[in-house]
């Protein structure tokens, strides 16, 4: 039997937000890695994310229902945005599209994921993914700077082949790298329980 140290993710509540980009397929791997490390994962998907990966995939990997509706009253009588935010130790959005970055930076609460950014008080991690031209736009960089100023941890995208057929910056960080950031965030919560 191996004597590997326990992951700082064990028994932690991870809220994984998935937005609509081709990198959503990597979020499935991230979800699986978190579950394998002993975390309890709840996935919240934007409507656009459901165009790339099904909720069924994330439900199977997390062992929990996927939440997509701000008004899921039956499952969350006080509101999904309140109950999920209170339950989560760490909130990570991967991939985070340019649209989501703008919503979060401006505090627009027009869907469940954006509303969760206003309700969650613990560590907030963002792993952007988009086309290079979008990534380099001043508006996107301003939104990233605002989120970082507000306390978010930005997990910068890498450079490489993009789905648009170009090579450049915009590839979402690999799930193993994001997992490392999650472990670091959870280690910072040592002794804190919800």
- Residue 92 CA to residue 141 CA, distance in Å, equals 19
Of 31, 34, 164, 186, the catalytic one is: 164
Q: What is the CATH number of domain 13-187?
A: 3.40.50.1950
What is the pLDDT, as a whole number, of residue 70? Answer: 82
pLDDT tens-place string over residues 62-110:
999 999 988 876 788 888 899 999 999 999 999 999 999 999 999 999 9
Active site residue 164: yes
Instruction: Report how far apart, in Å, the C-alpha atoms of 11 and of each of 43, 47, 172, 192 are.
Output: 16, 29, 26, 12
d(CA 161, CA 138): 22
pTM: 0.93
> Rounded to 5, what percent of the chain is helix, strand, coil?
40, 20, 40
Reported as a single tens digit per residue, the pLDDT across 148-186 is 999 999 999 998 877 877 888 889 999 999 999 999 999
């Amino acid at each position: 039997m191996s004597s590997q140290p326990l992951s700082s993710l064990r028994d932690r509540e991870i809220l994984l937000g998935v937005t609509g980009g081709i990198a959503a397929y990597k979020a499935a791997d991230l979800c699986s890695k978190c579950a394998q490390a002993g975390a309890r994962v709840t996935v919240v998907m934007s409507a656009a994310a459901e165009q790339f990966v099904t909720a069924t995939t994330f439900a199977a990997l997390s062992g929990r229902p996927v939440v997509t509706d701000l008004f899921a009253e039956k499952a969350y009588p006080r509101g999904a945005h309140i109950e999920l935010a209170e339950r989560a130790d760490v909130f990570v959005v991967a991939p985070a599209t340019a649209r989501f970055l703008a919503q979060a930076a401006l505090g627009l609460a027009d869907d469940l994921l954006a509303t969760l950014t206003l309700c969650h008080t613990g560590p907030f991690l963002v792993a952007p993914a988009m086309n290079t031209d979008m990534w380099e736009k001043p508006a996107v960089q301003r939104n990233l700077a605002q989120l970082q100023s507000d306390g978010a941890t930005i997990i910068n995208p890498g450079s490489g082949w993009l789905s648009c057929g170009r090579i450049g910056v915009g590839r979402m960080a690999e799930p193993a790298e994001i997992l490392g950031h999650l472990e670091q965030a959870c280690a910072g919560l040592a002794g804190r329980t919800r």
